[in-house]
Amino acid sequence: MKIKILSLLLIMCLSVGVMTSCSVKRYDRWLYGIHADFQDMEWEKLNPDEAVELLKMLGVKVVRVALNNNLVMSDNTTFIEEKALARQAQIKALNDAGIKILAVNSTWFLPPDVQEQSPSDMFLPERDFTEGSDYMRFLNDYEVMWENMANKFPLVTYWQTGNEPNQTLWFHKKDNANFPIQESMAINVDMMYRAARAIKKVNPKAVIVMPALAPLPNLEKCFNLIYDYIQSGEYGPTDVDSYFNIAAWHPYVQPGYTAPMWAKLQKAIYKTCEKKGDAGRRVIFTETGFQGGGDSDFWEQMYDQTRNELPFVDGMMVYCMTSHVLTGNSFGIFNTDSQTGSYIPLQVAWDLQNMFGGEGNLAKYNRIEN
């Protein structure tokens, strides 16, 4: 009987065309999420603990927490305890409320003598696997950093190991020159492998979300390169799960697009997974949004399209919770005021709360009106 069951499962795998898809784990399909940057709130002299309360009221199922290592650590092994404790407390409050945590870290430390080679704090050494090279020392330190981050924040269940590596803002040389896109993605794959290995060492049950690709013309090319490099066997294991469990990109809406047009574009991007023998791979849209918070009707259409037309998507994160004058971020569904410490909900915040099934007074910390 056991042999018959196994044979039946094998036939089922083959019948969908790609065996690898049968091994892809289905994660919770919670759909409703939002990005929150507690550090930006602190810079604006806001109280992040009040933001946590508002997030609970919104009814979101997951919060993407900005958790860049260079804001909670002074080097790869040393934490800034005051900052780390604050983030731990906010993460615990969300976790206690039953909200999942997806933490994103898109920064790194370079070896001090390498960092001294450039005033840029976000460059990368050129790929060189010679023992003792700048690149190898960076990768080794990078893995140590990720292990320490995973140990420090055990309540994080989803880790996103970077952000928009197809942007030259993040991936460039010490002289600020751009890497060829092939080399950028090669470095990205090296970093994904080291990060995933470190996190899984600490928590084998952690879910690794790939660094989301930015909505640039090179997105599909970069997605293909990531798969090509993994499957080549030249970067480490050939199984995708050694690098990421969930794929990700940022489907910001192009001007003039309708929601069905937007959904069609996401289907086209997902075909990369299918073409590479990875049909069934789960996806999270870890950012999408609009300046000024966006139009409520269009948000509803996007969520309807995602729910009904994009079954491979487990979640879509609203970018973002709060706008900030200091950082020039105007995508929030709450405006903020540093003088009064206010969170000022836009109409779209109320409408999303209704859509998400939340409840509570989102204007509770709008001290301008109060």
pLDDT tens by residue, 47-57: 999 999 999 99
Task: Determine what percent of the chain is predicted with pLDDT higher than 70.
Answer: 92
From the list 217, 213, 222, the residue with the least C-alpha distance to 182 is: 222
Integer Cα distance of 218 and 215 in angstroms: 8
Integer Cα distance of 27 and 263 in angstroms: 21
Residue 312 in this model has a pLDDT that exceeds 80:
yes
Strands 342-345 and 334-337: what pairing? antiparallel
**What pTM, to 2 d.p., does this model score?**
0.91
Retrieve residue 242's tokens.
């050694």
What's the mean pLDDT in 238-251?
98
Residue 296 in this model has a pLDDT that exceeds 80:
yes
Q: Which amino acid is at 31?
A: L
What's the mean pLDDT in 232-237?
96
| Helix or strand holding residue 343 (H, E) | strand 342-345
Residue 185 in this model has a pLDDT that exceeds 60:
yes
**Residue 1 banded pLDDT, cuts 50, 70, 90:** very low
**Residue 327 banded pLDDT, cuts 50, 70, 90:** confident
What's the mean pLDDT in 146-151?
99
From the list 35, 37, 32, the residue with the least C-alpha distance to 319 is: 35
Q: From the DSSP assignment, how many helices (H) and strands (E) are in the chain?
A: 12, 10
Of residues 14 and 137, more confidence is placed in: 137
What digits encode the pLDDT tens for the residues 64-107?
999 999 999 999 999 999 999 999 999 999 999 999 999 999 99
**Residue 278 banded pLDDT, cuts 50, 70, 90:** very high
What's the mean pLDDT in 104-127?
93
Integer Cα distance of 263 and 266 in angstroms: 5
Q: Given this model, what pLDDT does residue 98 score? A: 94
What's the mean pLDDT in 349-364?
97
Residue 155 in this model has a pLDDT that exceeds 60:
yes
What digits encode the pLDDT tens for the residues 8-39?
333 333 333 333 333 445 556 789 999 999 99
Residue 61 in this model has a pLDDT that exceeds 70:
yes
Q: Domain segments of the chain: what residues?
A: 24-356
Q: Given this model, what pLDDT does residue 30 score? A: 82
CA angle 52, 99, 346 (to 5 degrees): 50
What's the mean pLDDT in 247-268?
97
Average pLDDT, the chain: 92
Question: What is the CATH class of 24-356?
Answer: alpha beta
Q: Given this model, what pLDDT does residue 25 score? A: 56
Q: Given this model, what pLDDT does residue 370 score? A: 57
Given a contact cutoff of 8 angstroms between Cβ atoms, the answer to whether 90 and 321 are in contact is no
